[in-house]
Structures are given as C-alpha cells and as structure tokens.
C-alpha cells in the first residue's frame, strides 16, 4: 500500500530525512519510534504533503501511484490521513460542519451521494461513540479551547469519519491520561481492519501495549536505523535509545558528523 524509497526531505534549508525506506502493506500496523527531533513528524508531514517540507530525493508510492505529485487534499481524498501531533485551533468554524464537508468531499470523490446536515448528524453520533467524544464538542469551533486529550480524540474521530486507507497517527498518545489513552487506543483498534494500514508514531512504548504493532522501526537522525517486531519496542523501553544511537553512529559515522 505504501512504499517509501530512500526519501530525503528538508525544512527551512535543513536536511531532516536522509534516506528513509519503509514498506507498509494492507492490514499492517507499523510503529515508528525514535528520540525527539529524529524526524518522525517530518516524515508524517511529508506524507500528508505539508508545503513547508521539501522532498529533495526519493519516492513514495501509495497504491502504486506517485504520492508526492499529489496535492495534500488529493492525498486525503485518496485515503491518506494524518492525525497531527499538534492539531490547530480554527476559530469560527464548527467542528460538525468541518467534519461534514470533509466527509462529503470524500463521498464526492468516490462518486457517492453527499449527506445533508441531518443525515450526517446521525453518522457523526455513531462515530463519536468510537472515541467516546462529548457531543458538546461537535458544535464548538474546531479544537478551539479543547483540552490536549480532546484534541487528540478529535483527530481519531476524524479518522473514524473519513475511514482512510492509510492513517499516520503522530504521537496521538502524548497528552492523554491513562483512561483517555485506553479509550483512544480502543477506538483505533476498532478502526483497524484487513484493508487499511496504520503507522503509529510514538515516543513511548506504552501506546503499543494497547495497539499492538506488527513492526517497529526506529528513526534516528532521519534514517530508519533498526526494524523489528513488537519486542523491539520493549527493548527500547528497557534500555532507552542510547544503544541504538551508539549502534547507528558506528555504522553511519557520517550521521554523527553531519
């Protein structure tokens, strides 16, 4: 479904991704871990098509097509979804209206009938249960005045409404207390099925107790320096990132001097 080949990207003149390769197949859950600043969010934003991030080389195929030549909205309608690490607040735009517009854009793209506000309300109510989202948050402006946890739930609610083929969840666990973490993870698990794929970006292993990944990758200084099964996450939990860093420096001395 997703094939990233030797991807290099920069932001504000700084090279951040320096040769990322990753293959994600239908039905799989991949976790991308790594210390702060290693480029996890950059990878996520490059996939979503954020204009500030410039791809300097490499390619990304999504369902066999060149993802990088698509506009961000085309990517989204085609089934790519990014749950932001820091969702923005949008004053004056109601959450329900925004969700309906996004939903209908996708329906139109698929050649399906759009839903009117009443029909959509029912759908939204049903999807909101997946993340136990308070109905009061629907009529409020997008993320405005939401707590950290509410913002993250809102991201997963959007995922539940849009039903993407590929969901990249960027630190969806950060800022969640233990109960919220459980609810959000259970929500993600409900949305997980054989036809879609999930890339979980996380800093901590605790999320992976709830959403069990098929593969774990460690991103460090813009490269995937190690991949393994879910036991890799446990090893990281136990030993921290230092051993990975040391290993990476040894095999890639240029990375240290850059």
Partner 1 sequence: MMAQATKEKSSYRAAFDAMQAEDARCLPAWLLRLRETAMERFEQVGFPTTDVEDWKYTNTGAITKGAFAPVEAGARVELGAADVAAFLAPEASSRLVFVNGVYRAELSATENLPEGVVVADFATAFAGEHESILRAYLARPSDPEVDGFNALNAAFLREGALVYLPRGAQVSAPIQLLFLSAPATQTAAVFPRVLVVAERESAATIIESYASTDESRSFTNAVVEVFVGENARVTHYKVQRESEAAFHIAKTNAELERSGVYDLTTITLGAQLSRHGIGVKLAHEGAECWVDGLYLVGTGQHADTHSLIDHSSPHCTSHQLYKGILDGKSRAVFNGKVFVHKDAQKTDAQQSNKNLLLSNEARIDTKPQLEIYADDVKCAHGATVGQLEEEELFYLVSRGLHTDLARNLLTYGFAEELVEKIKIESIKRQLDEAILNRLHARLEV
Ligand X SMILES: Nc1ncnc2c1ncn2[C@@H]1O[C@H](COP(=O)(O)OP(=O)(O)O)[C@@H](O)[C@H]1O
Q: Can you give the binding site for Mg ion, defined by CB under 5 A?
A: 40-41, 85
Q: Which of 4, 30, 41, 82 binds ligand X (CB under 6 A)?
A: 41
Told to check if 33 binds partner 1 by CB under 8 A, we report no
Residue 117: exposure state from Cβ atoms within 10 A (0-12, 13-18, ≥19): exposed
Pairing of strands 29-33, 197-201: parallel
Q: Which of 23, 52, 129, 147 binds ligand X (CB under 6 A)?
A: 52
Told to check if 228 binds ligand X by CB under 6 A, we report no
Inter-CA distances, 251 with 129, 175, 225, 246, Å: 48, 35, 9, 9
Question: 46 with 17: CB under 8 angstroms?
Answer: yes
Query: Judged by CB under 8 A, which stretch of 78-86, 130-138, 195-203, 207-215 contacts partner 1?
Result: 78-86
Chain residues 92-111 in contact with partner 1, contact rule CB under 8 A: 92-93, 97-98, 101-102, 105-106, 109
Residue 54 binds which entry of partner 1, Mg ion, ligand X, none, CB below 5-8 Å type-dependent: none
Q: Which of 42, 158, 202, 205 binds partner 1 (CB under 8 A)?
A: 158
**Which is nearer to ligand X, 161 or 201 (by Cβ)?**
201
72: alpha, beta or left, given left = phi > 0 and alpha = psi -120 to 50?
alpha
Min dist CB 255 to Mg ion, Å, is: 19
Told to check if 49 binds partner 1 by CB under 8 A, we report yes
Min dist CB 82 to partner 1, Å, is: 6
What lies within 8 Å, CB to CB, of 9 at 6+ separation is 15, 16, 17, 42, 43, 46, 53, 54, 55, 56
What is the C-alpha end-to-end distance of the chain, expressed in Å? Answer: 33
Question: 177 with 184: CB under 8 angstroms?
Answer: no
Question: 206 with 22: CB under 8 angstroms?
Answer: no
Residue 152 binds which entry of partner 1, ligand X, Mg ion, none, CB below 5-8 Å type-dependent: none
Both tokens of 116, joined, read 């009117």
**Which is nearer to partner 1, 8 or 109 (by Cβ)?**
109
Told to check if 229 binds ligand X by CB under 6 A, we report no
Question: 118 with 161: CB under 8 angstroms?
Answer: no
**Which is nearer to partner 1, 27 or 72 (by Cβ)?**
72
Told to check if 39 binds ligand X by CB under 6 A, we report yes
Told to check if 71 binds partner 1 by CB under 8 A, we report yes
Location of structure tokens 């993600």: 188
Question: DSSP for 131-184?
Answer: TT--GGGTSSEETTT--HHHHHHHHHHHHHHH--SEEEEESTTTT--HHHHHHH
Binding site for partner 1 (CB under 8 A): 48-52, 71-73, 75-77, 81-82, 84, 87-88, 90-93, 97-98, 101-102, 105-106, 109, 116, 141-142, 158, 162
Binding site for ligand X (CB under 6 A): 11-12, 16, 34, 36-42, 52
């Amino acid at each position: 479904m997703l094939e990233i080949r030797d991807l290099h990207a920069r932001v504000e003149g700084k090279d951040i991704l320096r040769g990322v390769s990753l293959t994600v197949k239908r039905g799989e859950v991949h976790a991308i871990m790594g210390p702060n600043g290693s480029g996890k969010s950059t990878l996520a934003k490059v996939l979503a098509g954020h204009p500030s991030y410039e791809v300097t080389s490499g390619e990304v195929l999504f369902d066999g097509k060149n993802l990088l030549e698509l506009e961000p909205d085309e990517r989204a309608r085609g089934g790519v979804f990014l749950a932001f690490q820091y969702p923005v607040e949008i004053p004056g735009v109601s959450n329900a209206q925004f969700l309906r517009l996004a939903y209908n854009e996708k329906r139109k793209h698929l050649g399906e009938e759009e839903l009117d506000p009443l029909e959509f309300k029912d759908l939204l109510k049903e999807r909101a249960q997946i993340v136990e989202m308070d109905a009061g948050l629907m009529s409020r402006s997008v993320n405005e005045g939401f707590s950290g946890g509410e913002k993250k739930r809102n991201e997963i609610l959007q995922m539940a409404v849009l039903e993407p083929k590929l969901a990249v969840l960027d630190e969806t666990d950060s800022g969640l207390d233990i109960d919220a973490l459980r609810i959000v993870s259970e929500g993600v698990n409900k949305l997980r099925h054989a036809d879609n794929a999930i890339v979980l970006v996380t800093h901590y292993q605790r999320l992976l107790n709830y959403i069990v990944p098929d593969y774990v990758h460690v991103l460090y200084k813009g490269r995937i320096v190690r991949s393994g099964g879910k036991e890799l996450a446990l090893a990281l939990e136990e030993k921290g990132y230092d051993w990975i860093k040391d290993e990476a420096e040894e095999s890639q001395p240029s990375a240290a001097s850059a």
